[in-house]
Structure 1
Amino acid sequence: MVKRSDSILRKDFSKASSDKLLKQSTFLTMTGFGFLMENAEKTLDEDYQKGVELYSEANKYFEKAVDLSKKYFINKYPTFDIWLKGNNNSDIEFIQDDVEALYWLAAAYGGAISSSRGNPQWVIHLPKVGQLIEKAIYVNPEWNYGSLYSAMITYSMTLSDTPEKDWDDNGYIGGYNRFGAESETIGYYNIEGVRESEYVGINVATDYYKLSLKASKGMDLSAHISYAENVLVFQQDRSEFIKLLNHVLQFKGNKIKDLELGNYMAKQRAQWLLGKTEELFY
């Protein structure tokens, strides 16, 4: 798999079709997360230098994935790059068929940021992850059994007490409440325009976790993993962390084909995270 991906890194896609751009970008992103990033994280404790090298290699995959995904969108929407830079005068009417591509571009950016290990050249792109996923949620909130909500769990943990510039006073972005169409949670800014403390980070992530579980009827195990390693570790809730990961490992519910790979990877990560319990909780 890695050799095949390496050939993609060197390939010229200047004349590639839009479908091929999206397909290859998705493949690179999946390889980056499912193979290189996973191995890098597990290797770091035993062989720090090797782990760093794997992170660096993963970063190349994600960087290429971002490039190909952006080309895909620019072919379809010439002003996409301007929109992505936050220009409110370049709004784009995305459609249902765009949701998958928005998700994978956000994932590629997220992977590039994580694999850069704090490189400012990538960290500055963090708001784009939220912008892409929230736009996808606006178009089709329950796409792929709540995968968009699940993705927002990790992103939400980066939220500070400074509101995003595109939100109005009721917590809406583009006319859509960030907590989902059925949510009654609105008006969470004070008169100074600062997000109230109870809606910073943890509780925003928890709301997305609940939405994800509802959308997948509890079948998407990746949401449990994201919640456990982001929210529960931050809260230092050891007992709930262990309980949730054991639930993932013991899960034998009805199989959904679109979730099979993600659920398999979630079980693998649950096993690894349980082995790191002593390091994560103090």
Structure 2
Amino acid sequence: MLVGIGLSACSPRQLVVGSLADELASPALGNETDLILLRDAAPFHLKLSETVLHQQPGHRALAEAVAAGFTQYAYAFLAFDADRIEATDAGAAERLRRRAAGLYARAHRHAMTALEISQPGLTAVLAGSTPGGTLHIEPAQVGLAYWAAASWGGWISLSKDEPDVVADLPQAIRLTEAAWRVDPTWGQGALSGLMGSFEAARPGGSPVLALRYFDQAIRDSGGTGAAALVAKAEGYALPGGDRPMFEVLLRQALAIREAAGSPLAVQNEVMRQRAAWLLSKADDLF
């Protein structure tokens, strides 16, 4: 009798939490192009989403949304700001990068927890601690794997003085490759672009292979995404010393105009701002 009472008391709460998780998993802020408003609104939305995720850690869609939100906030509002103020206030830039690294790490933990819940043993296989284990990503997990890997890459890039973090780069690459094999066109080129960025960044990486991934990302974006163009400019043209290509790609990114209500609206606005900033720094970069 007492068990029955307990279950009946818990059920409404579980239903409410589950319903809230479903709602928070939807891209509520995804079409907002006012980045100042978005920057102000995002922390509350992220904290609420994270709180609900703690109650529903296996909710794949919410885990993906939380990992994406923390990763995008770290990139757009912390790491990018750090780049912009580096020349005038190196101390403040370093503090912003430490905050960004922390949020990338947080995003990564949420995404990996959800992946492990949905596929027990995945983390051990990824780390190579399961002899003979094969890393396999299900189609429904590709988005979660992307944000786990993208946040991991951001965390690693800002942790040059932490060898234990940097040493995980091969795992981040393996996770990206496993997702890419399942759905190489995921995210309108986002996954191919991440493959290109990792190939360009890893020790001994092939610029030729990185270029193939960047070009595939641009094709997959169908001319509607600025991120693939900026990724190629920073990941291929800049390290290759090709200023004409660098500037052409960034001007193409600036010219991108998405349709009203596009899910790429926020991303494109961030990347247009980055493209403009990179163009303004071209004399210093080359």
Shorter chain as denominator, the TM-score bin is 0.7 to 0.9
Fraction of identical pairs, as percent? 24
Alignment of 1:33-72 (within 5 A): 33-72=75-114
Once the two structures are superposed, what CA deviation does each residue of 1:112-158 show, in whole Å capped at 9, x if it has no partner? 11222442121111112211111111111111212111111211113
Is 2:135–2:178's contact at 8 Å kept on the other side of the alignment? no
Among 151, 157, 164, the alignment partner of 1:114 is: 157
Q: 1:36 to 1:121 in 2, by over 3 A?
A: same
How far residue 101 of structure 1 moved from its aligned partner, in angstroms, is 0.2
Greater CA drift, 11-20 or 116-125: 11-20
Higher helix share: 2
How far residue 214 of structure 1 moved from its aligned partner, in angstroms, is 2.1
Aligned length: 243
Q: Distance in 1 between matches of 2:223 and 2:149?
A: 23
- In the other structure, the counterpart of 2:179 is 136
How far residue 273 of structure 1 moved from its aligned partner, in angstroms, is 0.1
- In the other structure, the counterpart of 2:28 is none
- In the other structure, the counterpart of 2:251 is 246
Q: 1:160 to 1:120 in 2, by over 3 A?
A: closer
Q: Distance in 2 between matches of 1:137 and 1:10?
A: 27
TM superposition score normalised by structure 1: 0.78
Q: Distance in 2 between matches of 1:121 and 1:84?
A: 16
Alignment of 1:1-282 (within 5 A): 1=40, 3-4=43-44, 7=47, 15-19=55-59, 20-86=62-128, 87=130, 89-161=132-204, 200-252=205-257, 257-281=262-286
AA in 1 matched with 2:211: T
Is 1:37–1:54's contact at 8 Å kept on the other side of the alignment? yes
- In the other structure, the counterpart of 1:177 is none
How far residue 253 of structure 1 moved from its aligned partner, in angstroms, is 6.1
Is 2:224–2:257's contact at 8 Å kept on the other side of the alignment? no
Q: Which runs of 5+ in 1 are unaligned?
A: 162-199
For the aligned residue pairs, the C-alpha RMSD in angstroms reads 2.5
